[in-house]
Amino acid sequence: MSEPIVVSDLVRVPGAAITVHATRASGPGGQNVNKVATKVELRVELDAIEGLTDAARERLHRLATHRLDAGGRLLITSQATRSQAANLEDARAKARSLIAAALVKPKARRATRPSVTSREARLAGKKQRGSIKRLRARPGAE
């Protein structure tokens, strides 16, 4: 069983909901890459995360849609370093930041209208541009 991932005072991922699997990393690294399993795959059961509101759970699901495996678990991989322990910490940090991002309620967008001055300035710019183009035309070609 893994250590729990603590996101905030109220939100945490219990160790039982975390599965860690190490495989061989791709890319450069010499013979080390062929011998040592340093790439870490961390899977998190989304339903087992404690302290998430329904809205935050929905935001997390939307944020992590492309990272879900066939079983609906969040899949995070890390092969940034040549150390399995460092990659595990990196994967746990990625999971923590993704869950923390889902906790942030998005700011509601308020519809605004352009001011009268900005509308007039836009139209004046369009008139100016039109007159420049009109001056480029052949005389009498209107």
CATH of residue 14's domain is 3.30.160.20
What is the pTM for the complete model shown?
Answer: 0.72
Q: 68 has which bridge partners?
A: 74
Averaged over 92-112, what is the pLDDT? 92
Residue type at 121?
A
Q: Flag whether 91 is in a domain.
A: yes
Residue 88: its pLDDT value, please?
92
Burial level of 97, CB count in 10 A (0-12/13-18/19+)? exposed
Q: Per the structure, how many domains does the chain have?
A: 1
Q: Average pLDDT of the chain? A: 88
Which residues form the domain of 77?
5-103
